[in-house]
Chains A and B, each alone.
Chain A
Protein backbone atom coordinates (compact mmCIF):
# COMPACT_ATOMS: atom_id res chain seq x y z
CA UNK A 1 0.00 0.00 0.00
CA UNK A 2 1.45 3.38 -1.02
CA UNK A 3 1.72 6.29 1.38
CA UNK A 4 -1.00 8.20 -0.49
CA UNK A 5 -3.36 5.27 -0.44
CA UNK A 6 -2.74 4.75 3.29
CA UNK A 7 -3.52 8.42 3.92
CA UNK A 8 -6.70 8.29 1.84
CA UNK A 9 -7.89 5.21 3.74
CA UNK A 10 -7.19 6.85 7.08
CA UNK A 11 -9.13 9.97 6.09
CA UNK A 12 -12.01 7.86 4.75
CA UNK A 13 -12.24 6.18 8.15
CA UNK A 14 -12.37 9.52 9.98
CA UNK A 15 -14.72 11.49 7.71
CA UNK A 16 -18.25 11.82 8.97
CA UNK A 17 -17.33 12.22 12.61
CA UNK A 18 -18.43 15.84 12.26
CA UNK A 19 -16.82 19.02 13.49
CA UNK A 20 -14.65 21.53 11.73
CA UNK A 21 -11.92 18.97 11.12
CA UNK A 22 -14.23 17.13 8.71
CA UNK A 23 -13.91 19.87 6.13
CA UNK A 24 -10.13 19.57 6.10
CA UNK A 25 -10.36 15.79 5.96
CA UNK A 26 -12.74 15.99 3.00
CA UNK A 27 -10.47 18.37 1.14
CA UNK A 28 -7.52 16.10 1.82
CA UNK A 29 -9.46 13.02 0.72
CA UNK A 30 -10.54 14.66 -2.55
CA UNK A 31 -6.98 15.74 -3.30
CA UNK A 32 -5.63 12.27 -2.61
CA UNK A 33 -8.34 10.61 -4.74
CA UNK A 34 -7.25 12.78 -7.67
CA UNK A 35 -3.55 12.12 -7.05
CA UNK A 36 -3.93 8.36 -6.71
CA UNK A 37 -4.63 7.86 -10.40
CA UNK A 38 -6.72 4.97 -11.78
CA UNK A 39 -4.57 2.18 -10.35
CA UNK A 40 -4.32 3.73 -6.92
CA UNK A 41 -8.06 4.38 -6.89
CA UNK A 42 -8.72 0.73 -7.64
CA UNK A 43 -6.75 -0.05 -4.48
CA UNK A 44 -8.84 2.51 -2.60
CA UNK A 45 -12.07 0.99 -3.95
CA UNK A 46 -11.01 -2.46 -2.79
CA UNK A 47 -10.14 -1.12 0.65
CA UNK A 48 -13.40 0.81 0.92
CA UNK A 49 -15.36 -2.27 -0.11
CA UNK A 50 -13.57 -4.81 2.04
CA UNK A 51 -12.17 -2.93 5.02
CA UNK A 52 -14.36 0.10 5.72
CA UNK A 53 -17.18 -1.60 7.57
CA UNK A 54 -18.89 -1.33 10.95
CA UNK A 55 -16.85 -2.92 13.74
CA UNK A 56 -18.13 -5.65 16.01
CA UNK A 57 -17.54 -3.40 19.02
CA UNK A 58 -19.95 -0.82 17.62
CA UNK A 59 -22.89 -3.15 17.22
CA UNK A 60 -22.39 -5.66 20.05
CA UNK A 61 -24.10 -3.45 22.66
CA UNK A 62 -27.14 -2.43 20.55
CA UNK A 63 -27.52 -6.03 19.31
CA UNK A 64 -27.50 -7.38 22.86
CA UNK A 65 -29.97 -4.69 23.94
CA UNK A 66 -32.36 -5.66 21.16
CA UNK A 67 -31.94 -9.34 21.96
CA UNK A 68 -33.04 -8.77 25.52
CA UNK A 69 -35.82 -6.26 24.73
CA UNK A 70 -39.44 -7.37 24.74
CA UNK A 71 -41.64 -6.57 21.77
CA UNK A 72 -44.51 -6.06 24.20
CA UNK A 73 -42.82 -2.94 25.49
CA UNK A 74 -43.18 -1.00 22.24
CA UNK A 75 -41.28 2.07 23.36
CA UNK A 76 -38.26 0.09 24.56
CA UNK A 77 -38.38 -2.24 21.54
CA UNK A 78 -38.56 0.61 19.03
CA UNK A 79 -35.73 2.45 20.76
CA UNK A 80 -33.56 -0.67 20.66
CA UNK A 81 -34.31 -1.22 16.97
CA UNK A 82 -33.44 2.39 16.17
CA UNK A 83 -30.20 2.16 18.11
CA UNK A 84 -29.15 -1.02 16.31
CA UNK A 85 -30.10 0.51 12.95
CA UNK A 86 -27.98 3.57 13.68
CA UNK A 87 -25.03 1.41 14.68
CA UNK A 88 -25.28 -0.55 11.40
CA UNK A 89 -25.19 2.55 9.17
CA UNK A 90 -22.61 2.02 6.47
CA UNK A 91 -19.45 4.07 7.03
CA UNK A 92 -19.05 4.13 3.23
CA UNK A 93 -22.39 5.86 2.86
CA UNK A 94 -21.42 8.31 5.59
CA UNK A 95 -18.26 9.10 3.63
CA UNK A 96 -20.06 9.59 0.31
CA UNK A 97 -22.87 11.64 1.86
CA UNK A 98 -20.24 13.94 3.34
CA UNK A 99 -18.54 14.15 -0.05
CA UNK A 100 -21.78 14.98 -1.87
CA UNK A 101 -22.30 17.94 0.43
CA UNK A 102 -19.04 19.56 -0.67
CA UNK A 103 -18.84 21.76 -3.77
CA UNK A 104 -18.60 19.54 -6.85
CA UNK A 105 -18.84 16.50 -4.58
CA UNK A 106 -21.76 15.01 -6.48
CA UNK A 107 -19.81 14.92 -9.72
CA UNK A 108 -16.91 13.29 -7.86
CA UNK A 109 -19.17 10.56 -6.45
CA UNK A 110 -20.67 9.98 -9.91
CA UNK A 111 -17.20 9.73 -11.42
CA UNK A 112 -16.10 7.28 -8.73
CA UNK A 113 -19.14 5.06 -9.34
CA UNK A 114 -18.41 5.20 -13.05
CA UNK A 115 -14.90 3.88 -12.36
CA UNK A 116 -16.22 1.20 -10.01
CA UNK A 117 -18.73 -0.03 -12.62
CA UNK A 118 -16.03 -0.08 -15.29
CA UNK A 119 -13.69 -2.03 -13.02
CA UNK A 120 -16.47 -4.56 -12.40
CA UNK A 121 -17.10 -4.85 -16.14
CA UNK A 122 -13.40 -5.62 -16.53
CA UNK A 123 -13.83 -8.49 -14.08
CA UNK A 124 -12.56 -6.85 -10.88
CA UNK A 125 -14.03 -8.76 -7.94
CA UNK A 126 -14.56 -7.61 -4.37
CA UNK A 127 -16.23 -4.28 -5.09
CA UNK A 128 -19.81 -5.43 -4.48
CA UNK A 129 -20.27 -3.75 -1.08
CA UNK A 130 -18.92 -0.45 -2.39
CA UNK A 131 -21.10 -0.54 -5.52
CA UNK A 132 -24.15 -1.45 -3.45
CA UNK A 133 -23.64 1.56 -1.18
CA UNK A 134 -22.95 3.93 -4.07
CA UNK A 135 -25.98 2.66 -6.00
CA UNK A 136 -28.19 2.91 -2.92
CA UNK A 137 -27.05 6.46 -2.22
CA UNK A 138 -27.51 7.64 -5.82
CA UNK A 139 -30.85 5.90 -6.08
CA UNK A 140 -32.05 7.89 -3.07
CA UNK A 141 -30.55 10.99 -4.62
CA UNK A 142 -32.65 10.43 -7.73
CA UNK A 143 -35.91 9.59 -5.97
CA UNK A 144 -36.59 12.62 -3.87
CA UNK A 145 -38.53 14.83 -6.22
CA UNK A 146 -35.33 16.42 -7.39
CA UNK A 147 -35.63 15.35 -11.02
CA UNK A 148 -37.45 17.57 -13.46
CA UNK A 149 -38.17 17.49 -17.16
CA UNK A 150 -37.47 20.28 -19.62
CA UNK A 151 -38.16 20.53 -23.29
CA UNK A 152 -35.14 21.60 -25.29
CA UNK A 153 -36.12 23.61 -28.34
CA UNK A 154 -34.79 26.25 -30.68
CA UNK A 155 -35.28 28.82 -27.92
CA UNK A 156 -33.04 26.95 -25.50
CA UNK A 157 -29.66 28.35 -24.60
CA UNK A 158 -26.72 27.89 -26.96
CA UNK A 159 -24.83 26.18 -24.13
CA UNK A 160 -27.57 23.58 -23.67
CA UNK A 161 -27.94 22.87 -27.38
CA UNK A 162 -24.18 22.53 -27.79
CA UNK A 163 -24.00 20.25 -24.76
CA UNK A 164 -26.63 17.92 -26.22
CA UNK A 165 -24.94 17.95 -29.60
CA UNK A 166 -21.68 16.86 -27.99
CA UNK A 167 -23.32 14.17 -25.83
CA UNK A 168 -25.42 12.62 -28.62
CA UNK A 169 -23.71 9.28 -29.11
CA UNK A 170 -26.47 7.24 -30.79
CA UNK A 171 -26.60 9.38 -33.94
CA UNK A 172 -23.64 11.76 -33.58
CA UNK A 173 -23.61 15.11 -35.33
CA UNK A 174 -20.94 17.12 -37.06
CA UNK A 175 -22.53 20.55 -36.80
CA UNK A 176 -24.92 22.52 -34.61
CA UNK A 177 -27.15 22.93 -37.68
CA UNK A 178 -27.92 19.23 -37.47
CA UNK A 179 -28.93 19.68 -33.84
CA UNK A 180 -31.17 22.57 -34.86
CA UNK A 181 -32.86 20.29 -37.40
CA UNK A 182 -33.59 17.85 -34.58
CA UNK A 183 -35.28 20.64 -32.61
CA UNK A 184 -37.34 21.97 -35.50
CA UNK A 185 -40.66 21.08 -37.07
CA UNK A 186 -42.09 17.67 -36.12
CA UNK A 187 -39.13 17.02 -33.87
CA UNK A 188 -38.74 17.34 -30.12
CA UNK A 189 -36.11 16.87 -27.47
CA UNK A 190 -36.65 16.44 -23.75
CA UNK A 191 -34.10 16.33 -20.98
CA UNK A 192 -34.21 15.19 -17.38
CA UNK A 193 -32.32 17.40 -14.95
CA UNK A 194 -31.36 16.96 -11.33
CA UNK A 195 -31.86 19.99 -9.11
CA UNK A 196 -28.34 19.61 -7.72
CA UNK A 197 -26.84 19.84 -11.23
CA UNK A 198 -29.11 22.28 -13.06
CA UNK A 199 -26.60 23.19 -15.74
CA UNK A 200 -26.50 19.83 -17.50
CA UNK A 201 -29.19 17.21 -18.04
CA UNK A 202 -28.52 13.71 -16.75
CA UNK A 203 -30.37 12.02 -19.61
CA UNK A 204 -32.10 13.25 -22.77
CA UNK A 205 -34.27 11.85 -25.54
CA UNK A 206 -34.89 12.89 -29.15
CA UNK A 207 -38.32 12.39 -30.67
CA UNK A 208 -39.74 12.50 -34.20
CA UNK A 209 -43.46 13.15 -34.64
CA UNK A 210 -45.07 11.62 -37.69
CA UNK A 211 -48.06 9.98 -39.30
CA UNK A 212 -47.29 6.29 -38.90
CA UNK A 213 -44.00 4.62 -38.03
CA UNK A 214 -40.73 5.96 -39.39
CA UNK A 215 -38.64 2.97 -40.42
CA UNK A 216 -35.26 4.37 -41.38
CA UNK A 217 -32.96 6.91 -39.80
CA UNK A 218 -32.88 8.72 -43.12
CA UNK A 219 -36.57 9.55 -42.62
CA UNK A 220 -35.77 10.99 -39.20
CA UNK A 221 -32.55 12.95 -39.59
CA UNK A 222 -31.43 12.34 -43.17
CA UNK A 223 -32.34 13.44 -46.66
CA UNK A 224 -35.78 11.87 -46.49
CA UNK A 225 -36.72 13.67 -43.28
CA UNK A 226 -39.08 16.07 -45.01
CA UNK A 227 -40.75 13.52 -47.29
CA UNK A 228 -43.15 12.22 -44.66
CA UNK A 229 -44.32 15.60 -43.40
CA UNK A 230 -48.06 15.94 -43.20
CA UNK A 231 -50.48 18.76 -42.60
CA UNK A 232 -52.41 16.43 -40.32
CA UNK A 233 -51.51 16.28 -36.62
CA UNK A 234 -49.04 13.52 -35.70
CA UNK A 235 -50.34 10.17 -34.53
CA UNK A 236 -46.95 8.58 -33.82
CA UNK A 237 -44.01 9.55 -31.61
CA UNK A 238 -40.72 7.91 -32.49
CA UNK A 239 -38.00 7.88 -29.82
CA UNK A 240 -34.88 7.62 -31.92
CA UNK A 241 -32.12 8.47 -29.47
CA UNK A 242 -31.73 8.22 -25.70
CA UNK A 243 -28.46 9.38 -24.19
CA UNK A 244 -27.23 9.37 -20.62
CA UNK A 245 -24.68 12.04 -19.82
CA UNK A 246 -23.59 10.53 -16.50
CA UNK A 247 -22.29 6.98 -16.66
CA UNK A 248 -22.17 7.06 -12.87
CA UNK A 249 -25.98 6.93 -12.86
CA UNK A 250 -26.15 3.71 -14.89
CA UNK A 251 -28.71 1.15 -13.82
CA UNK A 252 -30.83 3.54 -11.75
CA UNK A 253 -33.76 3.63 -14.17
CA UNK A 254 -33.51 7.27 -15.23
CA UNK A 255 -34.16 6.42 -18.89
CA UNK A 256 -37.42 4.79 -17.83
CA UNK A 257 -38.35 7.88 -15.83
CA UNK A 258 -37.61 9.98 -18.89
CA UNK A 259 -39.70 7.83 -21.26
CA UNK A 260 -42.62 7.97 -18.88
CA UNK A 261 -42.48 11.71 -18.35
CA UNK A 262 -41.99 12.38 -22.04
CA UNK A 263 -44.96 10.27 -23.11
CA UNK A 264 -47.08 12.20 -20.59
CA UNK A 265 -45.76 15.52 -21.88
CA UNK A 266 -46.25 14.57 -25.54
CA UNK A 267 -49.78 13.32 -24.92
CA UNK A 268 -50.71 16.60 -23.35
CA UNK A 269 -49.19 18.57 -26.18
CA UNK A 270 -50.33 16.34 -29.06
CA UNK A 271 -53.65 14.70 -28.11
CA UNK A 272 -53.69 13.08 -31.58
CA UNK A 273 -50.83 10.69 -30.65
CA UNK A 274 -51.82 7.04 -30.75
CA UNK A 275 -48.50 5.19 -31.01
CA UNK A 276 -45.26 5.44 -29.07
CA UNK A 277 -42.36 3.58 -30.62
CA UNK A 278 -38.61 3.67 -30.98
CA UNK A 279 -36.34 3.53 -33.97
CA UNK A 280 -33.42 1.63 -32.49
CA UNK A 281 -30.11 0.26 -33.71
CA UNK A 282 -29.17 -3.40 -33.42
CA UNK A 283 -25.65 -3.14 -32.06
CA UNK A 284 -23.57 -6.30 -32.21
CA UNK A 285 -25.70 -8.04 -34.83
CA UNK A 286 -22.87 -8.46 -37.33
CA UNK A 287 -19.65 -8.57 -35.29
CA UNK A 288 -20.89 -10.53 -32.29
CA UNK A 289 -23.66 -12.65 -33.77
CA UNK A 290 -24.04 -13.25 -37.49
CA UNK A 291 -20.36 -13.24 -38.34
CA UNK A 292 -19.35 -15.83 -35.71
CA UNK A 293 -22.25 -18.05 -36.82
CA UNK A 294 -21.35 -17.83 -40.51
CA UNK A 295 -17.69 -18.49 -39.78
CA UNK A 296 -18.53 -21.56 -37.73
CA UNK A 297 -17.41 -20.19 -34.37
CA UNK A 298 -19.70 -21.81 -31.83
CA UNK A 299 -20.69 -19.15 -29.31
CA UNK A 300 -23.56 -21.14 -27.85
CA UNK A 301 -26.28 -19.30 -29.76
CA UNK A 302 -29.78 -20.69 -30.18
CA UNK A 303 -29.52 -20.14 -33.94
CA UNK A 304 -27.28 -22.76 -35.52
CA UNK A 305 -25.15 -22.48 -38.61
CA UNK A 306 -27.20 -25.29 -40.13
CA UNK A 307 -30.39 -23.29 -39.69
CA UNK A 308 -28.76 -20.33 -41.43
CA UNK A 309 -27.65 -22.57 -44.30
CA UNK A 310 -31.26 -23.67 -44.73
CA UNK A 311 -32.32 -20.02 -45.05
CA UNK A 312 -29.74 -19.60 -47.79
CA UNK A 313 -30.97 -22.37 -50.05
CA UNK A 314 -32.26 -22.01 -53.61
CA UNK A 315 -31.71 -18.87 -55.65
CA UNK A 316 -30.07 -16.97 -52.82
CA UNK A 317 -27.45 -19.68 -52.26
CA UNK A 318 -26.63 -19.75 -55.96
CA UNK A 319 -26.43 -15.97 -56.11
CA UNK A 320 -24.09 -15.89 -53.12
CA UNK A 321 -21.76 -18.51 -54.56
CA UNK A 322 -21.71 -16.69 -57.86
CA UNK A 323 -21.08 -13.31 -56.31
CA UNK A 324 -18.42 -14.21 -53.74
CA UNK A 325 -15.09 -12.39 -54.27
CA UNK A 326 -12.64 -14.03 -56.63
CA UNK A 327 -10.01 -14.36 -53.91
CA UNK A 328 -12.39 -16.27 -51.66
CA UNK A 329 -12.44 -20.02 -51.32
CA UNK A 330 -13.91 -22.24 -53.97
CA UNK A 331 -16.01 -24.60 -51.85
CA UNK A 332 -19.79 -24.39 -52.08
CA UNK A 333 -20.57 -23.43 -48.49
CA UNK A 334 -23.34 -20.77 -48.72
CA UNK A 335 -22.78 -19.56 -45.15
CA UNK A 336 -19.14 -18.85 -45.84
CA UNK A 337 -20.11 -17.29 -49.15
CA UNK A 338 -22.57 -15.02 -47.34
CA UNK A 339 -19.86 -13.92 -44.89
CA UNK A 340 -17.54 -13.15 -47.79
CA UNK A 341 -20.19 -11.33 -49.83
CA UNK A 342 -21.31 -9.25 -46.86
CA UNK A 343 -17.72 -8.32 -46.06
CA UNK A 344 -17.31 -6.79 -49.53
CA UNK A 345 -17.98 -3.05 -49.73
CA UNK A 346 -20.73 -2.92 -52.33
CA UNK A 347 -23.37 -5.52 -51.56
CA UNK A 348 -25.95 -2.89 -50.54
CA UNK A 349 -25.66 -1.33 -53.99
CA UNK A 350 -26.93 -4.54 -55.64
CA UNK A 351 -30.75 -4.34 -55.56
CA UNK A 352 -31.18 -7.93 -56.75
CA UNK A 353 -29.01 -9.30 -53.97
CA UNK A 354 -30.68 -7.05 -51.39
CA UNK A 355 -34.08 -8.38 -52.48
CA UNK A 356 -32.91 -11.95 -51.94
CA UNK A 357 -31.15 -11.22 -48.65
CA UNK A 358 -33.84 -9.09 -47.09
CA UNK A 359 -36.07 -11.81 -45.64
CA UNK A 360 -33.34 -14.17 -44.34
CA UNK A 361 -31.41 -11.33 -42.72
CA UNK A 362 -34.56 -9.99 -41.05
CA UNK A 363 -35.42 -13.49 -39.81
CA UNK A 364 -31.94 -13.87 -38.34
CA UNK A 365 -32.12 -10.40 -36.78
CA UNK A 366 -35.49 -11.24 -35.23
CA UNK A 367 -34.05 -14.38 -33.68
CA UNK A 368 -31.16 -12.32 -32.33
CA UNK A 369 -33.44 -9.75 -30.70
CA UNK A 370 -36.34 -11.88 -29.53
CA UNK A 371 -34.86 -15.30 -28.77
CA UNK A 372 -31.17 -15.10 -27.97
CA UNK A 373 -30.54 -14.67 -24.26
CA UNK A 374 -27.54 -14.50 -21.99
CA UNK A 375 -26.80 -16.71 -18.99
CA UNK A 376 -29.24 -14.72 -16.86
CA UNK A 377 -32.03 -15.19 -19.38
CA UNK A 378 -31.91 -11.53 -20.49
CA UNK A 379 -31.87 -10.58 -24.18
CA UNK A 380 -28.37 -10.86 -25.61
CA UNK A 381 -28.76 -7.55 -27.39
CA UNK A 382 -28.49 -4.72 -24.81
CA UNK A 383 -30.90 -2.36 -26.57
CA UNK A 384 -33.50 -5.13 -26.84
CA UNK A 385 -32.84 -5.90 -23.18
CA UNK A 386 -33.67 -2.32 -22.22
CA UNK A 387 -36.86 -1.95 -24.28
CA UNK A 388 -38.24 -5.47 -23.85
CA UNK A 389 -37.43 -5.18 -20.13
CA UNK A 390 -39.68 -2.10 -20.09
CA UNK A 391 -42.50 -4.18 -21.56
CA UNK A 392 -42.13 -2.88 -25.12
CA UNK A 393 -42.63 -5.39 -27.92
CA UNK A 394 -40.74 -6.34 -31.05
CA UNK A 395 -42.18 -8.09 -34.09
CA UNK A 396 -40.82 -9.30 -37.42
CA UNK A 397 -42.93 -6.69 -39.17
CA UNK A 398 -41.14 -3.92 -37.31
CA UNK A 399 -37.63 -4.95 -38.29
CA UNK A 400 -36.34 -2.65 -41.00
CA UNK A 401 -33.85 -3.73 -43.63
CA UNK A 402 -30.90 -1.42 -44.40
CA UNK A 403 -32.47 1.32 -42.31
CA UNK A 404 -29.21 2.95 -41.29
CA UNK A 405 -26.61 2.83 -44.02
CA UNK A 406 -24.21 5.23 -42.29
CA UNK A 407 -20.73 3.82 -41.71
CA UNK A 408 -21.45 3.61 -38.00
CA UNK A 409 -24.82 1.94 -38.55
CA UNK A 410 -23.32 -0.64 -40.87
CA UNK A 411 -20.47 -1.39 -38.51
CA UNK A 412 -22.87 -1.99 -35.65
CA UNK A 413 -25.70 -3.94 -37.11
CA UNK A 414 -24.81 -4.83 -40.66
CA UNK A 415 -21.72 -6.18 -42.31
CA UNK A 416 -19.13 -3.76 -43.55
CA UNK A 417 -15.47 -3.90 -44.40
CA UNK A 418 -14.92 -1.50 -41.52
CA UNK A 419 -15.87 -4.22 -39.03
Chain B
Protein backbone atom coordinates (compact mmCIF):
# COMPACT_ATOMS: atom_id res chain seq x y z
CA UNK B 1 0.00 0.00 0.00
CA UNK B 2 1.41 3.40 -0.94
CA UNK B 3 1.74 6.00 1.83
CA UNK B 4 -0.87 8.75 1.98
CA UNK B 5 0.00 12.34 0.95
CA UNK B 6 -0.21 13.56 4.56
CA UNK B 7 2.78 11.35 5.35
CA UNK B 8 4.95 13.12 2.77
CA UNK B 9 6.48 15.80 5.07
CA UNK B 10 7.11 13.20 7.79
CA UNK B 11 8.75 10.84 5.29
CA UNK B 12 10.86 13.68 3.95
CA UNK B 13 11.96 14.63 7.47
CA UNK B 14 12.82 11.00 8.24
CA UNK B 15 14.80 10.63 5.00
CA UNK B 16 16.86 13.74 5.81
CA UNK B 17 17.34 12.90 9.50
CA UNK B 18 18.61 9.41 8.69
CA UNK B 19 20.95 10.65 5.95
CA UNK B 20 24.58 10.80 7.14
CA UNK B 21 25.24 13.37 4.41
CA UNK B 22 23.07 15.80 6.38
CA UNK B 23 24.87 15.44 9.69
CA UNK B 24 28.41 15.98 8.33
CA UNK B 25 27.75 19.54 7.03
CA UNK B 26 25.63 20.36 10.08
CA UNK B 27 28.46 19.42 12.48
CA UNK B 28 30.98 21.42 10.44
CA UNK B 29 28.61 24.41 10.46
CA UNK B 30 28.33 24.27 14.26
CA UNK B 31 32.14 24.06 14.49
CA UNK B 32 32.44 27.12 12.26
CA UNK B 33 30.04 29.10 14.44
CA UNK B 34 32.08 28.13 17.51
CA UNK B 35 35.31 29.31 15.83
CA UNK B 36 33.69 32.58 14.79
CA UNK B 37 32.58 33.18 18.36
CA UNK B 38 36.19 32.70 19.54
CA UNK B 39 37.55 35.08 16.90
CA UNK B 40 35.28 38.07 17.37
User: Are chains A and B native binding partners rather than an unrelated pairing?
Assistant: no
Interface, chain A (partner B; CB < 8 A): none
Interface, chain B (partner A; CB < 8 A): none
